[in-house]
Structure 1
Amino acid sequence: MIFLKRAALALTAALALAGHLGLANAAPQTAEPAPHVGAHATAAADLAPGQWPQAISDVEVDPEIRFGALPNGMRYAIRRQTIPPGQAALRLRIDAGSLMEDDDQQGLAHFLEHMAFNGSKAVPEGEMVKILERLGLAFGADTNASTGFDETIYKLDLPRTDEEILSTSLMLLRETAMNLLIAQDAVDRERGIVLSEERSRDAPSYRTYKDRLAFLLKDQRLNDRYPIGQVEVLRSAPASRLRDFYDAYYRPERALLVAVGDFDVDAMEAQIIEAFGGWTAAGAPGDDPDLGGVQRRGLEAKVAVEPGVQGALQIAWVRDPDMSTDTKARRRGDVIEQLGFSVLNRRLSVLSRAADPPFLGAAAFVNDEFGAAETTSIIANAQEGRWREALQAIEIEQRRAVLHGVRQDELDREIAEYRARLRASVAGAATRRPSSLAQ
């Protein structure tokens, strides 16, 4: 499964009122990006293999979670959750996705995800799904995987937590992490399935998403490394190139295992150590790619035309990504920023409910584009033939917010709603499902 998180999710949420992005019409680039809260220090670069980010942060961790690491650098997080009883969720995250692919590997990170179900040293080809089904897991609903630009995640949601299902599930994740066979004949049999995913993805909404990203992140690596890849590579890449990616990036120092559910934490930790403690990487490690710098540009515009999609506009500002460490100070800045966006979005919502609204719906948000850039956007779904009016309306509201700020009564309302959401989350904390906690 292809998963374009963050940017895609933010765009989808903002456009939920009325369809897909059909027109990206004005994306100014600030000549001097505004500063962020906190220093621009890359937190990941400061971490040793096996070290958790809280080691360099002043943000307290959840005391209900046991954080650990193996001598080989693999990290794990374990949490007991007894509601609902007898259930659990496991997640194996590999810190690598399509951004790590070479030119002749485009699409192979996702292809490799498919190969996890096609044979390992302990599980013959075609047997993994059968094993899971015998344990009561349905493929797709309880067993799945996803590949994005910067990560690959394998997911198991377990209907019970007896010894058999826990040990078997950890064995299957271990086989995925370190023991895949990636046989040439199995690769050839899987090509048709991967190519069918590529064909099904080639829809108007996906093409406009790519148009948007290519315009905003001009000449950056994301535009050349979509997880679905290139058709010619998917058709012809030999198994050896999948093996090269596997050996370079499926390594313990890039792996994170999460286990949440109705089980004994000590016993689960012992099983993780037993299953993954002997994992040693083969060959040289893969590099993290250069994503390219944010281009310094003036006011530019782009029109993307796709028949049959809802007309939409987007004004965007692009700046360097915020790579500062996660701290209380940064989180305070993020909350203040979120409150500001909430005020602006409420103003836009009021306009959309007017007797003769300038647009069908609009939203403003800030988004991390996979570490390549940070974009701040205002988008609107326009009525037929009224895109100029919609563009003018969102531009005026943006200028009004910048020039005059927000009123205290507006801010008080958003703070009250923010606190109410937090209180509701606290009240329902005990009933969170293992799958959502693990994710």
Structure 2
Amino acid sequence: MNFKHTFFLSAAVLLVSASGTFAQVKKKPTPSPKSKPVSPAQQIAPQASASTSAAQTLPVDPQLVKGTLPNGFTYYIRSTKAVPKVADLLLINKAGSIQETDAQRGYAHLISHLALKGTTNFSKSDLSAFTKNYKIIIKPDTNVMTGYDETVYRLTIPGDTADVLNKSLNLLAGWAGNVNFDAADVNDVKNAALAELKAASSLMKTRLDNAALPVLLNKSRYAQRNPKGEEATIAAADASALKSFYTDWYRPDLQAIVIVGDVDAKKIEGMIKTIFGNLKSPANPKPIIAYPIAPVAGTTVQFATDKDLPYVVTQVIIKHPQAVVKTTANYMENVKLNLFNEMLTQRFEELKQQSNSPFMFAQAGYSSFISKQDAFVAMAVADPRGVERATKTLAEEIERIRKFGFVATELERAKQNGLAQIAYEYEQRDRILPGNIATDYQRNFLSGNAVTGTSFKYNFYLDNIGKIDLAAMNALAAKLLTDQNRVILIQAPEAEKAQLPTEQALRSWFTGAGANLSAYEDNASNPLMEKLPTPGKVTSITTDSTLMVTNVVLSNGVKVLLKPTQFQQGQIILNGFAFGGSSLASDQDYVSADLAAKVISMSGVAGFSQTQLEGILRNKGVNVAPYINDVTHGFAGFSSAADFGEAIQLMHLYFTQPRKDAAAWDRLISQTKGSLVLRGADEISIFQDTVAALLSNYNKRGMTTIIPQLNTASLDRAYQFYKDRFSNAANFTFTFTGSFTVEAILPFLETYLGSLPTKPGTETFKDLGVHPVSGVVNKTITKGRNDKAISQLIFSGTYDYNDANNIDLDAIETVLYLKVAQRLNDTTGNSQVSVRSNYSKIPSSRYKVTIDIECPVADLDKVTNVVMDEINKFKQTGALQKELNTFILEEAKSTQSQMRQNAFWSSAMNVTAQNGDNPHKVLLRAQMLQQLTIARTKEAASKFLNPANLIKVTLLPEKK
């Protein structure tokens, strides 16, 4: 079950976020300097004006079909082909846990569970047939969110048939007004909710939330209405009481449906009027009562400790009234807030990048909070021994911004980033995912925020962002960064409780933060390359007229594959690879080699530190970084078409002038040690590390690094290993996919790739034999208190890598999932199983079939037996014809869809180049799928699901 009630992050979540994937930031198209090759970018034509000369009501997105039925029910419909033949449906109920009385705490949660059991017009058998026939997932964890003020149901469906749309609308109408209150189902959902409460109570995050929420919510009704509910009231609930709450609060005047996707809006509108028009409200509907959270004068301090928390987290939360965007004046304030957040982000990024930074992680921003409130939130994660320095630095930076504001260059970069982002959104306006659009409409229904559409937003930014001056931004900062209605929250390890500052000391750190402060100084950006290298020449160029891929060879031996497209306008995906990777490192230097590309990426290039490099690229749509994997090394990234010159310059500099930064190395080692400590306290990480050990046969290169190994790493050895790998460009093949023409991009290739250094000889990877343990392995881990079992079954072995076998393994993935899912839907609805197949040719041909199981502990044996039984049946009979048809149809549709995406072609070119495959195989996929037979699937199941090589790893909670 998803709950909308947590507004601050635990240290564990913060550190995962800090080390996880990066967000793609698209920048404003700008012309390249005249001294450089001409950019292949295309500019966006200005549209109609959107002035703010007077505060006007914002227009409604012209693509939105919105209406209200006579019974008060609201509907939003938007047709888009961004994802062909798919639609997102939301049913929004403007009531949640805040409507519960003291005796009803948890009822909103229980009813949302109960709805998924079936309705008076959509029985359990109807629901089961519906999910099976259309492969639609309906589970509490993914399809419903219970919040304080709302309950939201979501379906993602194939939107290409009238039947599935009609059934989906009837199901949502059943949830809206005709939920069953069968006594047995009520008992089931009560048990599930109590199990959730019990499992959550053992989690560090829950304990930290329970300590902080009463303070953050100022002992308001919100602090007493956790959407998960209370054990006593859940246990006492019966069908009659739940139905009474449902009748009071599930009614058409509080409800809306949102449908966004590949649908006919007019037909859907007619269906909604027919299906939802009969919903009725009670004779005397209860009013929605506002329960404000009273502001607190001054600052409140809260300390919380936990035995499982390995770090100290300092948070500053300053609450303000919610800003609802309805007029052009509101929208202008919203633009200012976006600029404010952009400048905050860059300030805190610089703090993190500084030599000897006090932070393991830090961030700040202003966003929505809860119950008609927004909040400024700043947070810092530090080693327990560094809590004073980290907290003081956090306090000082907040005070520096409040006291001195920002500087003109910061604001200009933020404006460029804002224009860049909105320009990209405008370019991609026909490709915005249905779920993102649906979320905007959800906000409109719940809070009244306007939905204007991308074209209006784009024009508003163009017309008005230039009117925002530094004085206005600094006034906004001073207004938001107040010491009123402020909470300072310290979360720390239980073992460090005695070492934490007193409340008086903590307050003094903030009240004294303004002493001896100086204004921020911005290091002005410089051009990435002052002098261009001596270019090489194109010595060979051929074009595959079928694939429209151009093969280029440069005079220094560098090979390039080019695939111009019109799929995602303004986007170019860049890749480059050579064979070798960390397989060429000695066992002694392996850890250093494994960290080499990471530290270079954190160090900058040439004479620029990483902070300076980020300053140069802030208004550029560029993200390029080196990597070193097990058997390859190279570059991966993307750029806007306008900024391709800077992207390929950066690639050149990573080759020729990598920077060696001791401070970056220290940060990397500190962050890595911190994440390793966190992994050691987390049962999921321990489970994953155990699987990794077995899949590598306990080879250290395939296992998670431990701290003693990390202590052997050296910056000098890492830097030298990096330089050795990138010393001979003739070993490299580069691929470029996206918005360019071959003619326009060739000068870039000659200038920045043709000038790269080369030397005689080639190198390739070493096969170090890092393979899974052979034979039968059964390992169980007992850790944590979550009342769920997690298990992985892994079949593996040597492999004849060819197209037929690859398709056979893909078929096993789909068909086995269909078989198991059908059995489990008929037996236990609280279990989740997935099937994944993997195969590779390099460094040696191997395959894996992995089956993931997550279920209640009591059901583990039953679910595992179902999986093994279906595997045995698969071997005996192969796929059923309808299962085979489903696989072939979905694969053909998926391939057709993917072939309209740059990422697909980029991956295809790289994989075929590395494996030495026929590049035309992608076009032959549909034909090869048609050759698949039931007999082949039977043979493949016997071959690849061999119990003689089966690893089983299971995670169970600790015994009480």
Interval containing the TM-score (normalised by the shorter chain) = 0.7 to 0.9
User: 2: CA distance between counterparts of 1:308 and 1:142?
Assistant: 25
Paired position in structure 1 for 2:537: none
Deviations 1:323-368 (A, max 9, x none): 6562221121122123223223311211111221011222222243
Paired position in structure 2 for 1:318: 319
1:102 and 2:79 aligned = no
Q: Tell me by how many angstroms 1:17 deviates.
A: 4.4
Mapped contact 2:366–2:376 kept (Cα < 8 A): yes
Paired position in structure 1 for 2:256: 256
Deviations 1:67-116 (A, max 9, x none): 11101111101111123221111111000111111111111101100111
Deviations 1:98-135 (A, max 9, x none): 11111111111011001112232222346424422222
Paired position in structure 2 for 1:423: 423
Paired position in structure 1 for 2:199: 200
> 1:429/1:223 Cα in 2 relative to 1: closer, same or farther (>3 Å)?
same
Mapped contact 1:4–1:149 kept (Cα < 8 A): yes
Alignment-mate amino acid for residue 76 of structure 1: Y
Q: What secondary structure sits across from 2:286 in the alignment?
A: coil
Paired position in structure 2 for 1:343: 343
1:409 and 2:418 aligned = no
Q: What secondary structure sits across from 1:150 in the alignment?
A: coil
Paired position in structure 1 for 2:332: 332
Deviates more, 1:1-10 or 1:59-68: 1-10
Q: Tell me by how many angstroms 1:65 deviates.
A: 0.8
Q: What secondary structure sits across from 1:417 in the alignment?
A: helix
Mapped contact 1:122–1:175 kept (Cα < 8 A): yes
User: 1: CA distance between counterparts of 2:189 and 2:56?
Assistant: 44
User: 1: CA distance between counterparts of 2:347 and 2:388?
Assistant: 19
TM norm structure 2: 0.40
Paired position in structure 1 for 2:308: 308
1:236 and 2:236 aligned = yes
> 1:139/1:125 Cα in 2 relative to 1: closer, same or farther (>3 Å)?
closer
User: 1: CA distance between counterparts of 2:147 and 2:11?
Assistant: 16
> 1:86/1:291 Cα in 2 relative to 1: closer, same or farther (>3 Å)?
same
Q: Tell me by how many angstroms 1:10 deviates.
A: 12
Identity of aligned residues (%): 27
Q: What secondary structure sits across from 2:175 in the alignment?
A: helix
Mapped contact 1:92–1:258 kept (Cα < 8 A): yes
TM norm structure 1: 0.85
User: 2: CA distance between counterparts of 1:134 and 1:373?
Assistant: 44
> 1:283/1:232 Cα in 2 relative to 1: closer, same or farther (>3 Å)?
farther
Alignment-mate amino acid for residue 390 of structure 1: A
Q: How does 1:102-181 map to 2 (within 5 A)?
A: 102-125=101-124, 127-140=126-139, 144-181=143-180
Q: How does 1:1-400 map to 2 (within 5 A)?
A: 1-4=1-4, 7=7, 17=17, 58-125=57-124, 127-140=126-139, 144-202=143-201, 203-309=203-309, 310-319=311-320, 321-322=321-322, 326-371=326-371, 373-400=373-400
Mapped contact 1:294–1:318 kept (Cα < 8 A): no
Mapped contact 2:11–2:313 kept (Cα < 8 A): no
Higher strand share: 2
Alignment-mate amino acid for residue 284 of structure 2: A
**Cα RMSD after superposing both structures:** 2.5
Q: Tell me by how many angstroms 1:139 deviates.
A: 2.9
State the structure with bigger RCO (CA 8 A, min sep 6), 1 or 2: 1
> 1:116/1:425 Cα in 2 relative to 1: closer, same or farther (>3 Å)?
same
Q: Tell me by how many angstroms 1:372 deviates.
A: 5.1
Q: Tell me by how many angstroms 1:246 deviates.
A: 0.7
User: 2: CA distance between counterparts of 1:213 and 1:388?
Assistant: 24
Mapped contact 1:294–1:372 kept (Cα < 8 A): no
Deviations 1:281-327 (A, max 9, x none): 134323323424424333331111012223200122234x2365622
Mapped contact 1:315–1:377 kept (Cα < 8 A): yes
Paired position in structure 1 for 2:791: none
Mapped contact 1:93–1:154 kept (Cα < 8 A): yes
Mapped contact 1:343–1:410 kept (Cα < 8 A): yes
Q: Tell me by how many angstroms 1:249 deviates.
A: 1.0
User: 2: CA distance between counterparts of 1:323 and 1:356?
Assistant: 38
> 1:290/1:266 Cα in 2 relative to 1: closer, same or farther (>3 Å)?
closer
Alignment-mate amino acid for residue 72 of structure 1: N
User: 2: CA distance between counterparts of 1:124 and 1:17?
Assistant: 41
User: 2: CA distance between counterparts of 1:201 and 1:92?
Assistant: 27
Mapped contact 1:14–1:363 kept (Cα < 8 A): no
User: 1: CA distance between counterparts of 2:348 and 2:359?
Assistant: 9
Mapped contact 2:194–2:231 kept (Cα < 8 A): yes
Q: Tell me by how many angstroms 1:5 deviates.
A: 5.8
User: 2: CA distance between counterparts of 1:200 and 1:126?
Assistant: 30
Q: What secondary structure sits across from 1:61 in the alignment?
A: coil
Unmatched 5+ residue regions in structure 1? Answer: 20-55
Larger Cα-atom Rg = 2
> 1:302/1:207 Cα in 2 relative to 1: closer, same or farther (>3 Å)?
same
Q: What secondary structure sits across from 1:301 in the alignment?
A: strand
Alignment-mate amino acid for residue 319 of structure 2: V
Unmatched 5+ residue regions in structure 2? Answer: 20-54, 440-960
Deviations 1:23-46 (A, max 9, x none): xxxxxxxxxxxxxxxxxxxxxxxx
Q: Tell me by how many angstroms 1:438 deviates.
A: 2.1
Mapped contact 2:5–2:226 kept (Cα < 8 A): no
Alignment-mate amino acid for residue 313 of structure 1: T
Q: What secondary structure sits across from 2:155 in the alignment?
A: strand
Q: What secondary structure sits across from 1:147 in the alignment?
A: strand
> 1:184/1:128 Cα in 2 relative to 1: closer, same or farther (>3 Å)?
same
